[in-house]
């Protein structure tokens, strides 16, 4: 299947490998992230930060670490003590003592009382570390979350093909900041929706209409983030692919927009009429992802 020029996640399973003994899928993310971002990324991929729950899982993790020639032969696992300091547990609450991993000698040592996260090293030992150093990390997904939407080329739930534009779209009702929204779309193999025609604006308006304000979780339900941004230049809005709005094919700003209200509106949304509005990047709004086929 062709996943289109913007698909980040080809193949469809996005770098996940099946671990038969645990009937789950495992991915080593080699681009380092701080633990909180790693947790979010795994969650947005439909999984969670992985932990060596069984020896099969531990072996699969070590094999992946060995196969990837990382400078840093350490990767974050789901074990943390962020909820109850000193009580290390996996993302699903299994205490460290019941996992298939041992502490390296002298660990955990909680240097400066700042080591609430855990890495797995190349020989299968655990080390407590600070959570704010970027490192590779492991995500896992249950098999039932790996069902492929063959039409849209993703395992993410909720994407629907739209014949009027030939793309798939998903409306996210859980509001996020603009950059987190972009991350959520990427994690699903898509991108924030880019409007390339009046017809596509109509499509997004229709999708927005099927998600009335009562269904939106937190955030301002009058707007939904889309893929336009000013790239921190505090002026001109471009698409997330760097095109001007005129090159992209839709410049339908709402009347008197963009108005840079309060001097801090540098991200792009649409309103319920399908018109564009500049909006603060750090406020919570729902958003629309697109998979360009």
Where do contacts with ligand MAN occur on this chain (CB under 6 A)? 257, 259, 261, 265, 277, 279
Q: Please list the residues that pair with 141 across neighbouring strands.
A: 25
Given the complex with ligand MAN, which of 132 and 213 has the nearer CB atom?
Answer: 213
Q: Which residue is nearest to ligand MAN (CB)?
A: 261
Given the complex with Ca ion, which of 67 and 261 has the nearer CB atom?
Answer: 261
Q: How far is the CB of 257 from ligand MAN (least distance, A)?
A: 5
8 A C-beta contact, residue 115 and residue 6: no
Q: How far is the CB of 208 from ligand MAN (least distance, A)?
A: 16
3-class DSSP assignment, residue 125:
strand
Binding residues for Ca ion restricted to 237-266, rule: CB under 5 A: 259, 261, 265
Task: Give helix 178-187 / helix 35-44 axis angle, nearest 10°.
Answer: 60
Q: Does residue 277 belong to the site contacting Ca ion (CB under 5 A)?
A: yes
CB atoms within 10 A of CB 93: 8
Given the complex with ligand MAN, which of 44 and 181 has the nearer CB atom?
Answer: 181
User: β-strands 102-103, 125-129: how paired?
Assistant: parallel
Q: Does residue 230 belong to the site contacting Ca ion (CB under 5 A)?
A: no
Binding window for Ca ion (CB under 5 A); candidates: 103-111, 144-152, 213-221, 272-280: 272-280
Q: Does residue 225 belong to the site contacting Ca ion (CB under 5 A)?
A: no
From ligand MAN, Ca ion, none, interface partner of 244 (C-beta below 5 to 8 A by class): none
3-class DSSP assignment, residue 244:
strand
The Cα 231–Cα 244 span in angstroms is 12
CB atoms within 10 A of CB 69: 7
**Residue for token digits 């003994």?**
21
Q: Does residue 273 belong to the site contacting Ca ion (CB under 5 A)?
A: no
Q: How far is the CB of 180 from ligand MAN (least distance, A)?
A: 18
Q: How far is the CB of 264 from ligand MAN (least distance, A)?
A: 10
The Cα 169–Cα 40 span in angstroms is 21
């Amino acid at each position: 299947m062709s996943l289109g020029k913007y698909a980040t996640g080809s193949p469809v399973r996005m770098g996940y490998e099946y671990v038969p003994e645990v009937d789950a899928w495992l991915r080593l993310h080699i681009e380092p992230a701080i633990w909180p971002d790693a947790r979010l990324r795994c969650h947005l991929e439909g999984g969670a930060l992985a932990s060596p729950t069984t020896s099969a899982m531990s072996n699969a993790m070590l094999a992946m670490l060995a196969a990837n020639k990382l400078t840093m032969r350490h990767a974050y696992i789901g074990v943390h003590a962020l909820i109850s300091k000193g009580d290390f547990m996996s993302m699903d609450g299994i205490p460290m003592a019941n996992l298939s991993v041992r502490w390296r000698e002298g660990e955990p040592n909680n240097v400066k009382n700042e080591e609430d996260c855990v890495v797995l090293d190349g020989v299968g030992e655990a080390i407590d570390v600070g959570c704010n150093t970027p490192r590779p990390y492991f995500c896992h997904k249950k098999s039932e979350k790996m069902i492929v939407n063959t039409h849209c080329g993703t395992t993410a739930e909720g994407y629907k093909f739209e014949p009027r534009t030939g793309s798939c779209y998903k409306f996210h009702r859980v509001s996020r900041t603009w950059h987190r929204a972009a991350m959520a779309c990427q994690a699903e193999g898509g991108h924030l929706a880019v409007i390339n025609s009046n017809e596509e604006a109509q499509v997004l308006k229709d999708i927005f209409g099927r998600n009335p304000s009562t269904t939106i979780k937190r955030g301002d339900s009058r707007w939904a983030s889309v893929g336009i941004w000013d790239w921190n230049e505090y002026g001109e809005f471009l698409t997330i692919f760097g095109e001007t709005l005129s090159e992209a094919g839709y410049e339908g700003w709402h009347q008197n927009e963009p108005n840079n209200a309060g001097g801090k509106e540098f991200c792009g949304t649409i309103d319920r009429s399908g018109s564009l509005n500049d909006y603060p990047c750090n406020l919570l709004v729902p958003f629309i992802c697109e998979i360009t086929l």
